[in-house]
Amino acid sequence: MRTLPALAAAALVTLAGAAHAVLKPGDPAPAFSTQAALAGKPFAFDLKAALARGPVVLYFFPKAFTSGCTVEAHAFAEKTPEFAALGATVVGVSNDDIDTQLRFSSEACRDKFAVASDPKAEVISAYDARFGGLFKTASRISYVIDRSGRIVYAHEGSDPLVHVAETFKAVQALKAGAPAAAAR
């Protein structure tokens, strides 16, 4: 039988192994196209096309309709008009299928921004956004990508409201011509 300190040490090793590298400011943002949903309607999302219109807030979330992901979607929905006023597009990505994203885009995203379907976790992998050992599940990671296709801000953390607030600050700094804060 293991002792409590041995179990705690094993848990820490497991958690440490679950950590991964997040793309850093200055890194090129991997280009991608995938099925997405906006206001309950499917469309083809293409990062390059979105960047032609302005910066992109690309956020990864673990699972549609879970409590934290719904809170985050509601917060991004409330802030989307302010992101849009700065010329930024918001898009969320998870490994949920497109049928789930169609519902999530209306119910949780309140028809305000798109959510992309990445069932094979190809985009999740390209952005180093996998959640630990769960190959297809995304971690909660947000990126701000400038029009040139470079990451200018990255944030990884469990608090969904912090993602919205921090990415908004990064977009404001980008609009003002100031460097965004370092990745966290």
How far is residue 163's CA from residue 87's CA, in Å, rounded to a whole number? 18
How far is residue 57's CA from residue 100's CA, in Å, rounded to a whole number? 21
| Residue of 69, 115, 145, 174 marked active site | 69
Catalytic annotation present for 69: yes
Active site residues: 69
